[in-house]
Amino acid sequence: SYELTQPPSVSVSPGQMARITCSGDALPKKYAYWYQQKSGQAPVLVIYEDSKRPSGIPERFSGSSSGTMATLTISGAQVEDEADYYCYSTDSSGNHRVFGGGTKLTVL
Amino acid sequence: QVQLVQSGAEVKKPGASVKVSCKASGYTFTSYGISWVRQAPGQGLEWMGWISAYNGNTDYAQNLQGRVTMTADSSTTTAYMELRSLRSDDTAVYYCARDFADDLDYWGQGTLVTVSS
C-alpha cells in the first residue's frame, strides 16, 4: 500500500524557520496537502495543491514540492504554531488516499 | 459560513455497528464530496473513504472494505458513515470533511466512538 513518510518530530526556537518534509513515490504527479492539528482539535488545512495557502492562514506558512518530496515551511515559527502536521496525498492511480504519519512541531 | 456538525459520542460493544452523521450547511451540498477520517487515541490520521454527495459514488480504504458504508442524503444535506463488526481497535475520533478534488478544506468537530465490552 502507498505510504507518505514524515519525520516524527521537528524542534525550533521561536522566530526560526521550521521545515517539515513528506516523501512519497507519487508526489511528482500528485498534489500534497498539509494539515495542522492542535491538541484536542480537528485538523485545519494550511497548504493545498503543494503550495497554495487558504485564506486566513498566515503568510509564514508556505509549501513546495520537488520530485518525491513535499515540504512545509514555517518562516519565523511562533509558539502558537506548535502542533502536529500531516501531509496528505494519493497514490499514482488516484484511488488510494493516505496521510503521512505526522510530525510533531515543537517551538520553544 | 461552511459548517459540518457531527453527531455525539457513542459507546458500542465489540461486534456491534455504529452510524455517525455529518450535517452540512453553508454551501451547495451536491457540489462536493465528503471524506471520513479517523484518529485512534494518540495516533495519526487515517483516511477511511469518500462519497460523492452528487451521485453517491464511493471509494473506501482497502482495509475497511466490507465493513464500512457511506451514504449522503441531499434532502437533509447530511452524510453518514456506518462501521460494522466493531473491534476495540476501531476506538477513535471520527471526522467528516468537505472534499473537492482531494482537498479536505472544512472539517467536522469529530465524534468519539468507543468500543468496549
> Which run of H or of E encompasses A37?
strand A33-37
Tens of pLDDT, residue by residue over A24-69, are: 999 999 999 999 999 999 999 999 999 999 999 999 999 999 999 9
Q: Cβ–Cβ of A43/B62 closer than 8 Å? A: no
For A48-85, b/e burial (b = at least 16 CB within 10 A) is bebbebeeebeeebbbebeeebbbbbbeebeeebbbbb
* Closest partner CB to A42 (pick from B50, B62, B110): B110
Angle at B103 between CA B102 and CA B106, to 5 degrees: 135
CA distances from B99 to B54, B70, B85 (A): 12, 14, 27
For residue A44, give the nearest of A57, A35, A34 by alpha carbon: A35
Tell whether the model's pLDDT for residue A95 goes beyond 90: no
Separation of alpha carbons B117 and B115, rounded Å: 7
The residue of B70, B104, B106, B111 whose CB has the most chain A CBs within 10 angstroms, and thus the best one to mutate to test that interface, is: B104
What is d(CA A3, CA A68) in angstroms, rounded to the nearest whole number?
12
Please write the tens of the pLDDT for every residue from A9-19.
999 999 999 99
Q: What is the pLDDT of residues B55-98, one digit of tens each?
A: 999 999 999 999 999 999 999 999 999 999 999 999 999 999 99
Calpha distance B44→A85 (Å, rounded): 10
Test the A interface: residue of B35, B37, B50, B64 with most A CBs within 10 Å: B37
Q: Compare all CA atoms of chain A with the CA of B102 and give the residue at the minimum distance.
A: A89
Confidence label for A1 from pLDDT (cuts 50, 70 and 90): confident
* Interface-testing mutation among B102, B109, B111, B112, with chain A (most A C-beta atoms within 10 A): B102
Q: Which three cell numbers stand for residue B101?
A: 478534488
- What's the confidence (pLDDT) of residue B74? 96
Contact of B55 with B39, CB cutoff 8 Å: no
Model confidence pLDDT, tens digit, residues B25-53: 999 999 999 999 999 999 999 999 999 99
Which of B102, B105, B108 lies nearest to residue A90, judging by beta carbons? B102
Residue type, A18: A
Q: Is B102 a residue whose pLDDT tops 90?
A: no
Taking an 8 Å cut-off on Cβ atoms, the answer to whether A33 and B103 are in contact is yes
- Report pLDDT digits (tens) over A66-89: 999 999 999 999 999 999 999 999
Min Cα distance B117 → chain A (Å) is 25
Say how far apart CA B32 and CA B97 lie, in whole Å. 10
Measured between beta carbons, the chain B residues lying within 8 angstroms of A101 are 44
Chain A residue at shortest CA distance from B112:
A40
In degrees rounded to 5, what are phi and psi of residue A91? -75, 180
What the block records as the C-alpha cell of A91 is: 497514490
Mean pLDDT for all residues in chain A: 96
pLDDT score of B101: 82
